[in-house]
């Protein structure tokens, strides 16, 4: 497993995938739907899948003396690591906006979702959609990924739209709070986001292992 994961990072991954982790910095942009940053991170991962397909990486991997299940696990772990790298960037930016820059005029007057725990929770939801829809869909054939990426893209934009709408509904203003009781309430939302991400990703990986094991490559 360790060797396979090392292969994912050093041989399979495209440079652009690492560069796209910097999209977590989009959380600094005022008056912008910053949740789109999560989509771009997933787009970067999708490019690695594209490179891997062109290089016949899946066939090369299964020809190695490894279990097919380990090949799937390594790919999921790689994707999770990339997501967590960008998530860490977003979390640091969020912490800065909620403390040092909390009273900055550009953020106080921001009508979009603020960088807070709600934002981070929805980032995890979008990552979950990618892991379930795209990665899970890819391992149905271990080759085709275009259709499932389109489905993911549409789904993620719907989530962005929902997130940007909810905090405008009377009674849900706390979703965009950066201090006070609103942030306390957001802790439960953030916890829910973590649970969704962990359970969704693990479930998708287990399903993908079963699908990949049945494929005749």
- Number of Cβ within 10 Å of residue 101's Cβ equals 17
Domain count within the chain: 1
- Number of Cβ within 10 Å of residue 124's Cβ equals 22
pLDDT in tens, 154-193: 999 999 999 999 999 999 999 999 888 999 999 999 999 9
Burial class (CB in 10 A: 0-12, 13-18, 19+), 51: middle
What percent of the chain is modeled with pLDDT above 70?
Answer: 99
For the CA atoms of the chain, what is the radius of gyration? 18
Burial class (CB in 10 A: 0-12, 13-18, 19+), 174: middle
pLDDT in tens, 59-101: 788 778 888 888 999 999 999 999 999 999 999 999 999 999 9
pTM: 0.95
Q: Where are the alpha helices (DSSP H) in 55-180?
A: 57-62, 68-98, 105-108, 117-129, 136-138, 146-166
Residues spanned by the domain of 151: 2-214
pLDDT of residue 192: 98
Identify the weakest region by mean pLDDT among 16-25, 44-53, 55-64, 156-165. Answer: 55-64
Are 25 and 94 within 8 A, CB to CB? no
Side-chain half-sphere CA neighbours of 208 within 13 A: 25
Burial class (CB in 10 A: 0-12, 13-18, 19+), 78: buried
* Angle at CA of residue 20, ends 15 and 23, nearest 5°: 160
Side-chain half-sphere CA neighbours of 66 within 13 A: 20
CA distance linking residue 132 with residue 77, whole number of Å: 14
CA-CA-CA-CA dihedral for 165, 42, 127, 121, to nearest 10:
-50
CA distance linking residue 122 with residue 117, whole number of Å: 9
- Number of Cβ within 10 Å of residue 142's Cβ equals 23
């Amino acid at each position: 497993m360790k060797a396979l994961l090392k292969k994912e990072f050093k041989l399979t991954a495209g440079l652009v995938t690492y560069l796209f982790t910097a999209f977590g910095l989009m959380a600094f942009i005022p008056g912008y739907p910053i949740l789109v940053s999560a989509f771009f991170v997933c787009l970067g991962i999708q490019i690695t899948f594209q490179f891997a397909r062109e290089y016949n990486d899946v066939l090369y991997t299964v020809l190695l003396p490894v279990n097919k299940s380990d090949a799937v696990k390594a790919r999921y772990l790689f994707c999770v690591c990339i997501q967590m790298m960008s998530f860490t960037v977003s979390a640091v930016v969020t912490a800065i906006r909620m403390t040092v820059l909390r009273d900055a005029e550009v953020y106080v007057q921001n009508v979009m979702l603020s960088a807070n725990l709600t934002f981070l929770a929805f980032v995890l939801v979008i990552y979950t959609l990618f892991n379930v829809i795209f990665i899970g869909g890819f391992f149905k054939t271990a080759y085709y990924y275009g259709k499932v990426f389109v489905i993911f893209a549409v789904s993620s934009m719907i989530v962005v739209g929902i997130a940007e709408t909810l905090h405008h509904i009377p009674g849900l203003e706390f979703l965009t709070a950066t201090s006070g009781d609103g942030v306390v309430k957001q802790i439960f939302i953030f916890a829910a986001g973590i649970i969704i991400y962990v359970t969704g990703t693990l479930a998708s990986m287990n399903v993908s292992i079963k699908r990949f094991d049945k494929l005749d490559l």
